[in-house]
Amino acid sequence: MPWLLLFIAGLFETGWAIGLKYTEGFTRLWPTVWTAVSMLISLYLLGIAMKDLPVGTAYAVWVGVGAVGTVALGIVLFGEPVTVARMVSVGLIVAGLVGLKVAG
């Protein structure tokens, strides 16, 4: 269960990272509210997952899931470039996440 909560926390991290783009410097109310709520949910779930997982592993996985999700949504929503170097880098992050899960 802690791994599932951690994964969901990472998805909410993606939500607030993408939300930051839509806030336009916190000048738009509803995107700002969504971003703040996503941050709180993400941190709450991370804290719950850390009850049972090592802090270093939990934090690294949380950041990794958020980073991979943010790159993916950046490509889909904002037309960010898909380059070999970016995809290899994302693949390395995913490999690291799998390694942390297997080693844990």
Looking at residue 103, what is its pLDDT? 87
Gap between the Cα atoms of 55 and 86, Å rounded: 27
> Into how many domains does the chain fold?
1
pTM: 0.89
Q: What is the pLDDT of residues 62-97, one digit of tens each?
A: 999 999 999 999 999 999 999 999 999 999 999 999
Name which of 99, 9, 11, 101 is nearest 49 in CA terms: 9
Gap between the Cα atoms of 55 and 59, Å rounded: 6
pLDDT at 104 over 80: no
Provide the domain limits for residue 62: 2-103
Mean pLDDT of the 29-39 span: 97
pLDDT band at 45 (very low <50, low <70, confident <90, very high): very high
Residues constituting the chain: 104
